[in-house]
Structure 1
Amino acid sequence: MRAPVASLAYLGPEGTFTHAAALALPARGTPVPRPLVTDVYDDVATGRADAGVVAIESSVEGYVVPSLDAIVAARDVVAVDEVTVEVAFDAFTHPSAVSPTEVTAHPHGLAQCAAWIAARGLTAVPASSNAAACRDVQPHQVALGPALCGELYGLTTLATGVQDFAGARTRFLLVTDREAARTELASRHDESVSWRMMLAITPHEIGPGVLARITAAFGERGVNMSSLITRPLKAQEGTYVFVVTLDGAPWEPHVRALLAQLLGAGDSLKTLGVFPARAGTDAGFDTSRVPAGSVRAGSDDATVARELLW
C-alpha cells in the first residue's frame, strides 16, 4: 500500500506569500490552503496536517502578532525550520474596474505600501490575506499582492513594486507537533550546523530588575540574544511573556546551562522552536534607518536635552 502523502497547511488562498514559503519546502508535503492562520495551528495540533507554514516576522513591520501569540499559546505545536521570502507588492484591479476608492490587502501589506496608498487617497480595507484580497477584489477597489496573483485571479496590473521599501523580506516558520519535533531534532544533534531557538520566558516575580536579571543570564552563559519581544499574559495587567530568539540549541551545553539558570530563578520556560540558522541578515548597519530624532554620543547638548526630554 502506498503511504499517504504528507500535507502542509498554510494560510490561503493560493498566491499568498505563505504559499510561496510552502512551495519552498517541497520535501515537507503537499501545500493545503486554510482560511485562517489559527486553522494552520489547529490542523497541526490535531493531526489533520503533518506540518504547517506560518509567517512570523516581517523585516518592515516586525513580528506577526497573531501568529506569535498562536505559537506561544499552542501546547503541542513547535517550529523545526524557517524559510525567508522576498516580499514585493503589485497593485491590481478588477477586469471591470471603475475609478478606485478603496485599497485592500492583509494589514501588513497595507502598512508596507502606506506611501503609495496615501498618495492616491485610497481608503484601506484589511483582508485575511493578500491573495484573498486579490481573489475577492471589487470593481471599485485596488488589491495589493504578489505578482503571481494577477495571473491566478485574472486581474489587471495597475502598478508594480508599490511597496515602500525595496528588499523587504518575511520570515516563515515550519511548525509540527511537539513529539514529531523531538524525534526529528534528536536525529540532528550531531549535525555541524548553527542553530537558532525561540524561547518563551515567563517570570513569576515582577518588579524592578526582572528583565535585567534575565538578560544578564544570557551574558553570563555566553548566549547571544538576537531578538526580544514582550507579549502580555492575557487579562493580567503588568505581567508579560518574554519571547526571545537566541543563537544555539537546547542540547548545547551553554544553552542548557542558561535554561537551568532561568528555571532555578523561578521562571517558566517553553521552547517555541529550534531550527538551523539561515543566512539572510543584512550586511552592515544602515544608519538611515535609525528612528528619526535619535541621538548619540557627540550630539550637541541642546539636541540631547530635546530628544531625551531631560
Structure 2
Amino acid sequence: MAGNRERSMICFAGPIGSSDHRVIELFGFKDFDPLPMPSVEEVIFTVSTTPGLLGVLPIENSTEGELTLTLDRLIFDVDDAFIVGEAVLAEEIWGFSINGEASVHTAISHSMILDLCADFIRHRGLNVRHAVSTKAACDEVAGTRDPGLMALAPPSVGSQAGLNPIETQVAQVSELRTRYALIANNLPAPSGSDRTMLAIVPRYDAVGALSEIAGQFKSHDVNMTSILSRPLAGERDVHCFVVVADGHAHTEPVRSLLRSLLRAGHQVKLMGCYPRWTAKEVVTPSTQLPRGVLAYEEISDSAQQ
C-alpha cells in the first residue's frame, strides 16, 4: 500500500501526534485527513461500517508480541474489515527536559514506555507520571516549564515539542518496534510480494490437527511465516489458529491451499492480504538464545543414561 496516494480519511486510536498517527506516513500517505478515535474497537467498527474509510491498528510489538485483543476483534467481531497493509514503526526512546539539564525528579510518559524504562527510572530514583501518549508527555513538560520534569519519548516527538534531550539511553531496548495493520473494506490486488493472514478452526481438536493443517501448507508449497493459537471461549478444547503466510489469496498457490483446507472440513476466515513489509521487522528484546537450550547431542546422551 505504499507510494503516492490520493487524499484519504484514516482513523486511529489515540490523539494527534501519537505513534498510531505517526505511522500513517509509512503506509505511503503524505496527504490525508486524520480521524482520531477513543479506542481500537471504535476504529474497527467504524471502518467495517463505512465504505472507503481506512484505519490503522497496532497488532504486534517487540515487548508484548502479538496484540491478541486487537486480533481477536478482527477475527470474531467483524466481517467487513480486512488487513490491507502492514508497516513497522521503529523508534528510539530518549529523555527530554525543558532546559536540557539532568537535574530531574519525575519521568512522564505512556505506561508502556515507563515499563520499558523501568531500570533507568529506578537507577535515577525518579518518580513517575502517566500520560496518554508520548506527545502528551512532551506537551506537559513544555507547558509547565518545570525543569524537574523529564518526558520519555521518541526523538522526533521531543524535538517537535521544543524540548532538549538529556538522556539517549533510557529504555531496555535499543528501539521500540511496533507492527501496524492498515484495515479497509476491500482487499488490494496482488502486488507480487504479498502476505495473507488467515484464521483457521480445525475440523477436529485432537492430536494431529495442527499437523494436518501444516501439511496442507507444505503440500501446496505455501510458506507459513507465523502462527498463533487462540482458544475459543465457551468451546472446550477448540482452538483457532491465526496464520500468516507468503502469497496472496487471489493467486496461486494460496488460492489452491484455501480450497483444499475448506474441502478438508476446516473453517477458514480470510483476515487480509497485503504487500509484504521489507524494512525493519519486529524482533524480541533479546539477542540471546533462551537459557537452557539443549543441543541434540545432550538430549541423546541423557536418553542413553
**Does the 8 Å contact 1:58/1:64 carry over to 2?**
yes
Matched residue, 1:78:
82
Correspondences of 1:133-152 after superposition (within 5 Å): 133-135=137-139, 143-152=151-160
- Whole-Å Cα distance in 1 between the matches of residues 286 and 168 of structure 2? 28
Matched residue, 1:63:
66
Correspondences of 1:1-310 after superposition (within 5 Å): 6-24=8-26, 25-26=28-29, 29-47=32-50, 50-72=53-75, 73-92=77-96, 100=105, 104-107=109-112, 109-120=113-124, 129-135=133-139, 143-153=151-161, 157-177=165-185, 181-182=186-187, 185=188, 188-189=189-190, 191=191, 193-280=192-279, 288-299=287-298
- Which amino acid in structure 2 is aligned with residue 105 of structure 1? H
Deviates most, 24-33 or 121-130 = 121-130
**Does the 8 Å contact 2:93/2:176 carry over to 1?**
no
How far off its partner does 1:243 sit? 0.8
- Whole-Å Cα distance in 2 between the matches of residues 77 and 10 of structure 1? 14
How far off its partner does 1:21 sit? 1.0
**Does the 8 Å contact 1:43/1:49 carry over to 2?**
no
- Which amino acid in structure 1 is aligned with residue 110 of structure 2? A
- Which amino acid in structure 1 is aligned with residue 19 of structure 2? F
Q: Deviations over 1:65-92 (max 9, x none)?
A: 2322222232211111112221211234
Cα–Cα, structure 1 residues 49 and 66, in superposed 2: closer, same or farther, change >3 Å? farther
How far off its partner does 1:123 sit? 7.2
How far off its partner does 1:246 sit? 0.3
- Whole-Å Cα distance in 2 between the matches of residues 213 and 28 of structure 1? 46
**Runs (5+) with no aligned partner, structure 2:** 1-5
How far off its partner does 1:209 sit? 1.4
- Which amino acid in structure 1 is aligned with residue 24 of structure 2? A
- Which amino acid in structure 1 is aligned with residue 172 of structure 2? D
**Does the 8 Å contact 2:200/2:269 carry over to 1?**
yes
**Does the 8 Å contact 1:16/1:145 carry over to 2?**
no
- Whole-Å Cα distance in 1 between the matches of residues 228 and 171 of structure 2? 25
- Which amino acid in structure 2 is aligned with residue 175 of structure 1? I
- With normalisation by structure 1, the TM-score equals 0.77
- Which amino acid in structure 2 is aligned with residue 201 of structure 1? I
SS across alignment from 1:253? coil
**Does the 8 Å contact 1:199/1:269 carry over to 2?**
yes
- With normalisation by structure 2, the TM-score equals 0.78
**Does the 8 Å contact 1:85/1:171 carry over to 2?**
yes
Cα–Cα, structure 1 residues 237 and 89, in superposed 2: closer, same or farther, change >3 Å? farther
Q: Which one scores higher on RCO, CA 8 angstroms, separation ≥ 6?
A: 2
How far off its partner does 1:51 sit? 0.3
Aligned length: 288
SS across alignment from 1:215? helix
- Whole-Å Cα distance in 2 between the matches of residues 125 and 236 of structure 1? 42
**Runs (5+) with no aligned partner, structure 1:** none
Q: Deviations over 1:281-301 (max 9, x none)?
A: 67xxx9943212222224487
SS across alignment from 2:48? helix
**Does the 8 Å contact 1:197/1:246 carry over to 2?**
yes
Deviates most, 203-212 or 118-127 = 118-127
How far off its partner does 1:100 sit? 4.0
**What's the C-alpha RMSD, in Å, of the aligned pairs?**
3.5
- Whole-Å Cα distance in 1 between the matches of residues 213 and 69 of structure 2? 25
